Amino acid sequence: MLRSEKKQFVEDLEQIYSVSSSVIVTHYHGLTVSDMTELRKKLRASDANLKVVKNTLAKIASDRAGSVCAHDIYKGPTAIAYSVDPIAAAKVVVDFAKSNEMLKIVGGVVDDMLLDTSGVESIAKMPSLDQLRGKIVGLLQAPASQLVGVVSAPAAQLARVISAYANKK
């Protein structure tokens, strides 16, 4: 890689580290091209991405971005999965690692917290931001629909009584 390419690569990684809420560091040794393509597709479907990184350049970029990423996790064939949603990348990577033993989760950074492998796995078990928003909307709508049912019940009962009285005569 030329010096100018390295400079651009570090700038790109620095941007990734500063914008992303989560960066999951993995080792991909032994994965085939089709496995990597499948992982990338799954990540893109969750608004996340995967990037194969050079370890020394990743260390430089994380330092420049002010990331709390530990330097000892950048060893071997390293790829990072990153996303704006703090949980999306972790969910996809953990699910993929369960079905493919060649992908090893080394650690990660989620909202400026350094996580080990078990931390990334526990983050992946949490519901995503969209799922949490859906639950909140459901909780907010439930009292309103119950209130409508309570308010309309006496009117409906009155209508049934009048209808029964009319049918009786």
CA distances from 20 to 30, 80, 140 (A): 27, 11, 30
Structure tokens at 65: 């971005």
User: According to the model, what pLDDT value does residue 90 have?
Assistant: 92
Q: Where are the alpha helices (DSSP H) in the chain?
A: 3-19, 33-45, 55-65, 88-99, 117-124, 129-168
User: According to the model, what pLDDT value does residue 86 have?
Assistant: 84
Strand partners, 48: 83
3-126, which class in CATH? Answer: alpha beta
User: According to the model, what pLDDT value does residue 110 have?
Assistant: 87
User: According to the model, what pLDDT value does residue 80 have?
Assistant: 94
Domain residue spans of the chain: 3-126, 127-169
Structure tokens at 93: 């990577």
Tens digits of pLDDT across the chain (169 residues): 788 888 998 999 889 988 888 899 999 998 999 999 999 999 999 999 999 999 899 888 888 888 777 778 888 899 999 999 888 899 999 999 999 999 999 998 888 888 899 999 988 888 877 777 888 887 777 776 665 666 666 766 767 777 777 787 6
User: According to the model, what pLDDT value does residue 66 have?
Assistant: 81
Question: What global pTM score does this model have?
Answer: 0.73
